Structures are given as C-alpha cells and as structure tokens.
Amino acid sequence: LAEARTLLGLSELALANGDPGQAVVLGQQASDAFRDMGALLYDVRALNLLTEAHAALGDTAAAKAASDEAAALSRELAAGTQLS
C-alpha cells in the first residue's frame, strides 16, 4: 500500500508542477496497484486525479472515462457491494 500511495503522491506533485503527462503515468500505476490490492477508496482518489490530469492534457474522452469509473466505484462502495 505504501508504494501505491507514494505513486499517487508523486502523481499529485507532477500535476501541481504542470506535468499532467507524468501525472497520468504515475496515477495509472497507482490506480492499478490500488485495484490489485482491493484498496478501492484509494483507487477512487487515483481515478479522480487521473480525471484532472487527462483534462489538463485536453483529453476529454480519457477524463470522462476516468471520472465515470470513479463515480461507478464510489456508488459500489456507498452501496456496500465493495468493502475496501
């Protein structure tokens, strides 16, 4: 979990420092790791960051896909179908 959280933090820093491309690379790695571990709340956070990074790159389709995935996962978590 620590490595994935570090990737997410680095992704946030990349986005804040004006490098959305690097934010996407690191954010996707974090999202994949969180998903593999079942850390779904963290995955929602990573997906939200990916939404911002894709939007900053002007990739509205990828931003919408990440946003939709985050929203769907949030609904599952709220409904109690996923407990991580």
Q: Hey, CA dihedral for 50, 32, 67, 9, is it positive or negative?
A: negative
Distance CA 55, CA 63 (A): 5
Structure confidence by residue, pLDDT tens digits, 25-66: 999 999 999 999 999 999 999 999 999 999 999 999 999 999
pLDDT (0 to 100) of residue 41: 94
End-to-end Cα spacing for the chain: 13
| Inter-residue contact 12 to 48 (CB < 8 Å) | no
Distance CA 7, CA 11 (A): 6
